[in-house]
């Protein structure tokens, strides 16, 4: 066996030019396949990242009735004991962020708008999603202040600016009426477009008081140390949580529509990836076929001096393995570097304006999700192995006399 390996290895370096060409073919195939995935997935990752940061969190703990009926009546008590029991449930939890959320009317002196009111712990919130960086005017409130920060869209529609007073009216817990006046300390350019026209942020304790929901919140967002721990942490919380009325959801459970939309939009790129594989396959085949032709004489000589076909085939197979592995690894490295180099693609002209109008940055971000690297690497490897079956077949049928003469 070791002989085969050293033979194959030497064959590889005997004709450097040939090796380089074959490996390059694989490198470019991997590059094209990874690029294709990355371009198509990048925008979705940005979208999901925003939704997770500003809307759901990676894991969310709610009252079990809240999903069905998201009203304040289904809020829950948030105290030291609960905080500790959650933090103790899993040591991979980075931090926890409490929120109370409800729908209220926001008004200036003449007109009224619907709004979504969030009571937040602004320090914890900022550490999670850097919300303060989105302030376009003013400052964030301090806890306990009778103050508010609202989305720019909403502020414009109500013609309010920093220093003005915002009136909130609605229903608190168990039907208590809730209303109050709040000084606007800041205006926020909310990264989620729909929220920009609706979001009103209040200090957590102020919101709880307004809504007659002292110490109650509607959701706890859990931030894992690393995203990949999400499922595991959710599982250990489910096991450790003593309060049986609380449930933990992960973000895919909370954002099914977006994931579904993503699946739908990715169907076409997937089909195109298959088309790409066809092109890659033919490119390989051409290279390998010509390589085999070039080496027919060598094979013929080897066979005629007594090498068994099985052995020759094994050597060739190992060579193939070397080619493919080196090519794929190189390809992944090149793909990664090129992605780093072009990420993000800046849009210009009308395309850029169209994207800005929709509330996004005028860029096409690249995805660096690890799975696309190893999955595409594996697929190209499999295509390469499949195509390399051709020389093996050729050997098994080779006419020694003719080959040695060619």
What tokens appear for 126 in the block?
Answer: 């900022």
Would you count residue 321 as binding other proteins (CB under 8 A)?
Answer: no
Residues 198-237 vs other proteins: string with x where CB under 8 A? x---------------------------------------
Within residues 10-29, the interface with other proteins by CB under 8 A covers 17-18, 21-22, 24-25, 28-29
Would you count residue 167 as binding other proteins (CB under 8 A)?
Answer: no
Would you count residue 289 as binding other proteins (CB under 8 A)?
Answer: yes
Give the closest residue to 220 by CA, choosing from 89, 132, 358. Answer: 89
Torsions phi, psi for 249 (to 5 deg): -115, 145
Within residues 292-311, the interface with other proteins by CB under 8 A covers 293-294, 297
Residues 46-85 vs other proteins: string with x where CB under 8 A? ----------------------xxxx--------------
What tokens appear for 327 in the block?
Answer: 């090519």
Strand-pair category, 147-151 with 177-188: parallel
What tokens appear for 268 in the block?
Answer: 């076409």
Would you count residue 119 as binding other proteins (CB under 8 A)?
Answer: no
Residue with tokens 């000084």: 183
**Residue placing its CB nearer to other proteins in the complex, 63 or 90:** 63
Within residues 125-164, the interface with other proteins by CB under 8 A covers 156-157
Would you count residue 179 as binding other proteins (CB under 8 A)?
Answer: no
Binding residue for other proteins (CB under 8 A) from 6, 88, 133, 290?
Answer: 290
Helix axes 16-51 and 256-304, enclosed angle (nearest 10) = 170
**Residue placing its CB nearer to other proteins in the complex, 17 or 239:** 17
Cβ proximity of 59 and 248 under 8 Å = yes
What tokens appear for 273 in the block?
Answer: 């990836």
Size of the site for other proteins (CB under 8 A): 74
Binding residue for other proteins (CB under 8 A) from 7, 8, 35, 96?
Answer: 35
- Which sign does the torsion angle of CA 227, 228, 231, 233 carry? negative
Q: Smallest gap, in angstroms, from Cβ of residue 314 to other proteins?
A: 23
Within residues 237-266, the interface with other proteins by CB under 8 A covers 257, 259-261, 263-264, 266
Give the closest residue to 331 by CA, choosing from 368, 286, 273, 376. Answer: 376
Give the closest residue to 203 by CA, choosing from 307, 98, 305, 107. Answer: 98
Within residues 330-349, the interface with other proteins by CB under 8 A covers 345, 347
Within residues 374-403, the interface with other proteins by CB under 8 A covers none
Locate the DSSP E strands across 251-385. 345-346, 363-364
């Amino acid at each position: 066996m070791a002989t085969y390996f050293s033979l194959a290895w030497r064959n590889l370096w005997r004709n450097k030019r040939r090796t380089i060409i074959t490996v390059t073919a694989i490198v470019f195939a991997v590059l094209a396949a990874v690029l294709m995935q990355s371009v198509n997935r990048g925008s979705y990752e940005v979208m999901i990242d925003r939704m997770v940061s500003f809307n759901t969190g990676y894991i969310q703990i709610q009252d079990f009735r809240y999903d069905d009926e998201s009203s304040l009546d289904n809020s829950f008590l948030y105290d030291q004991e609960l905080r500790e029991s959650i933090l103790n449930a899993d040591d991979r939890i980075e931090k926890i962020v409490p929120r109370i959320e409800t729908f209220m009317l926001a008004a200036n002196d003449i007109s009224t708008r619907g709004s979504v009111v969030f009571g937040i712990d602004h320090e914890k919130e900022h550490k999670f999603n850097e919300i303060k960086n989105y302030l376009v005017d003013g400052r964030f409130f301090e806890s306990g202040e009778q103050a508010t920060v609202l989305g720019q869209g909403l502020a414009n529609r109500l013609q309010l600016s920093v220093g003005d007073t915002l009136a909130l009216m609605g229903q608190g817990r168990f039907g208590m009426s809730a209303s109050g006046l709040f000084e606007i300390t800041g205006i926020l350019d909310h990264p989620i477009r729909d929220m920009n026209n609706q979001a009103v942020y209040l200090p957590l304790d102020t919101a709880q008081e307004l809504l007659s929901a002292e110490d109650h919140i509607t959701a706890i967002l859990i931030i894992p140390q690393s995203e990949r721990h999400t499922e595991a942490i959710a599982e250990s919380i489910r096991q450790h949580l003593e309060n049986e009325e609380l449930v933990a959801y992960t973000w895919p459970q909370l954002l099914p529509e977006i994931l579904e939309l993503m699946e739908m939009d990715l169907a076409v790129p997937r089909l195109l990836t298959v088309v790409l594989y066809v092109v890659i396959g033919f490119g390989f085949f051409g290279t390998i076929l010509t390589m085999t032709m070039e080496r027919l004489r060598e094979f013929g000589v080897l066979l005629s001096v007594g090498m068994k076909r099985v052995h020759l085939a094994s050597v060739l197979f190992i060579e193939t393995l070397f080619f493919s592995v080196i090519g794929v690894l190189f390809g992944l490295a090149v793909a990664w570097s090129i992605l780093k180099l072009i990420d993000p693609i800046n849009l210009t002209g009308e395309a850029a304006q169209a994207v800005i109008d929709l509330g996004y940055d005028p860029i096409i971000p690249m995805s660096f999700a690890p799975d696309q690297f190893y999955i595409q690497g594996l697929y190209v490897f499999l295509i390469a192995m499949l195509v390399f079956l051709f020389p093996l077949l050729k050997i098994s049928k080779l006419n020694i006399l003719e080959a040695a003469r060619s």
